[in-house]
A = this chain, B = another copy of it.
Amino acid sequence: MPSSTKDRIVDSSAELFRRQGYAGTGVKQIVAAANAPFGSIYHFFPGGKEQLGAEAIRSSGRLYMQLVAGVAGQGPDLLAAVAAIFAGAAETLLETDFADACPIATVALEVASTSEPLREATAEVFESWIAGATEWFAAAGIPRERARELAFSTLSLLEGAFIFCRAMRTVEPLRMAGASAVAAVGAALADRPR
C-alpha cells in the first residue's frame, strides 16, 4: 500500500470538495471515502477541517497544474497546446458526468468571504497558475505584460466555461471558450516583436 492514511485523507477531501464544495462536504463523509478512522483527521490536522481544506486546496492545485502542463507540453506549438487544454477539459467533464472541472473553483467562491486561511490558499494556487501561464506565453516571445493579460484571460475563459458546462451539462461552452482562447493567443503571437 503506497498511500499513507494522511495522503488518502487529503486526496479524498480534494475530490469531494471539488464536486460538492467545502461546506457541503462533511468530515464523516471524508473519512468514509478515505477508509480512514475518524480520529485520524484530528491527529494529522490539529487545525481541524479548515487545515485539512487548506492542504487539500494546495495539493490539488499543484496536481492540476502538472496535469495541464502535461497536456500542453505535448502539443506541436502554442496554439495546438491551448486547444488541447480546452479539449482535454471537455473530455474529462464528459467522462465524469460533468463532475470534475476545476478542482478549487467551487471552494474558492465559497470561502472567499467566509474563511481567510482558505481564501489565501486558493489565492496562492491561482497566483501560481497565472505565473506559470505567463511564463509559458513569455517563452513564446510574447512581451511579459501582454503574456500576463493573456494568462488571465485564457484561464478566465477556462474557469468561466467550466461553470456553464457543469450547470448546463454540455461541453459547448468549453468548445466556444477554447476557440476564443486560441484566437486571442494567435493574435498575440501575430503581433509579437521580432
Chain A residues packing against B (C-beta within 8 Å)? 19-24, 97-99, 101, 105-106, 108-110, 112-114, 119, 122-123, 126-127, 130, 148-150, 152-153, 155-161, 163-164, 166-169, 172-173, 176-177, 179-180, 183-184, 187
Determine if A180 and B108 form an interchain contact, defined as CB atoms under 8 angstroms apart: no
Chain B residue at minimum C-beta to C-beta distance from A181: B153
Cβ A164 vs Cβ B160 within 8 A = no
Oligomer copy total: 2
A184 engages B176 (CB within 8 Å):
no
**Which residue of B is nearest A19, CB measured?**
B113
Out of B108, B149, B150, B177, name the residue touching A167 (CB < 8 Å): B108
Q: Provide 10 A-B residue pairs closer than 8 Å at the C-beta atoms, listed in order of the A residue.
A: A21-B24, A99-B112, A109-B109, A148-B176, A152-B176, A153-B176, A156-B161, A156-B163, A156-B177, A180-B184
